[in-house]
């Protein structure tokens, strides 16, 4: 594990301390979890962009045409 010094505005640090205490975790655990969540989000976006770039319009249309054409069920009838 490595150490990292991060400078935060006092207001952000105070809110992190408050939320970490509410979850009964340390500030370090809170920040590590927040960083991991951001990392997962960005990696997911990268993955989806790669998948989208390799997609074929004809495949999309084939799957779209396989969906039955049904009336809208959102009108409550």
Long-range contacts of 35-44 (CB under 8 A, 24+ apart): none
pLDDT digits (tens, 9 = 90+) for 18-65: 999 999 999 999 999 999 999 999 999 999 999 999 989 999 999 999
Of 24, 31, 26, 29, the closest CA to residue 8 belongs to 31
Those residues whose C-beta lies under 8 Å from the C-beta of residue 33, and which sit 6 or more positions away, are: 25
Q: Which has more pLDDT, 18 or 74?
A: 18
């Amino acid at each position: 594990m490595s150490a990292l010094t991060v400078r935060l505005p006092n207001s952000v640090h105070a809110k992190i301390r408050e939320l970490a205490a509410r979850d009964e975790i340390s500030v370090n655990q809170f920040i590590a979890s927040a960083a991991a969540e951001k990392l997962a989000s960005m990696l997911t976006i990268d993955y989806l962009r790669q998948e989208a770039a390799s997609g074929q319009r004809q495949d999309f249309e084939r799957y779209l045409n396989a969906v039955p054409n049904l009336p809208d069920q959102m009108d409550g009838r």
